[in-house]
């Protein structure tokens, strides 16, 4: 009956007064406009960092705010054969080509924990980040399937 809807957020790149840049999810005002958040009387911005950690950042520390436009995650498992030739399952899992079955399994489990939708559901992330995580999880699963079939236990 009622849809779960949290506060709206937008993905931005914040340039701080020390010159460092942070990609973060910024909570928007009720209007849904970034300008309303930046021009409000509140002194702090409600921010989710790259690891999903929530913190409040003083507006005094922010020099520039730029909209981040992450690439759209395309989840197309029926790609042409030439695309499959460029797929590197070792790079996806971050293991060497001589990795053991245990190394592959360990890397797989670590990455699944990082990108699993159940873990990310607890964070108020923009839909683009959720879509990216879903696409990455699909790549991780495909890479594991390809390597687990050919890996030899040691």
CA distance 83 to 63: 41
Please report, rounded to a whole number, the percentage of residues in the chain having pLDDT higher than 70: 82
Q: Is the whole model's pTM more than 0.85, yes or no?
A: no
| pLDDT reported for residue 53 | 84
113 touches 52 (CB < 8 A): no
Confidence band for 3, pLDDT divided at 50, 70 and 90: very low
Q: What is the pLDDT of residues 40-61, one digit of tens each?
A: 999 999 988 877 788 999 999 9
- Give the integer Cα–Cα distance in Å for 81 and 102: 29
What domains sit in the chain, N to C, each tagged with a CATH number?
9-67 (2.30.30.100), 81-150 (1.10.287.110)
Percent of the chain with pLDDT over 90: 24
Nearest to 140 by CA among 122, 114, 103: 114
């Amino acid at each position: 009956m009622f849809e779960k809807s949290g506060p709206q957020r937008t993905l931005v790149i914040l340039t701080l007064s020390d010159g460092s840049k942070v990609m973060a999810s910024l909570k928007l005002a009720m209007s849904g406009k970034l300008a309303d958040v930046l021009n409000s009387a509140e002194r702090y911005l409600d921010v989710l960092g790259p690891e999903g950690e929530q913190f409040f950042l003083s507006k005094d520390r922010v020099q520039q705010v730029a909209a981040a436009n992450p690439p759209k995650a395309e989840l197309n498992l029926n790609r042409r054969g030439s695309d499959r030739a460029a797929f590197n399952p070792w790079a996806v899992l971050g293991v060497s080509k001589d990795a053991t079955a245990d190394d592959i399994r360990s890397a797989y489990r670590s990455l699944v924990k990082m990108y699993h939708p159940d873990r990310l559901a607890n964070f108020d992330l923009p839909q683009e980040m959720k879509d990216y995580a879903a696409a990455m999880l699909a790549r991780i699963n495909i890479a594991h399937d390809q390597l687990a079939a050919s890996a030899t236990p040691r």
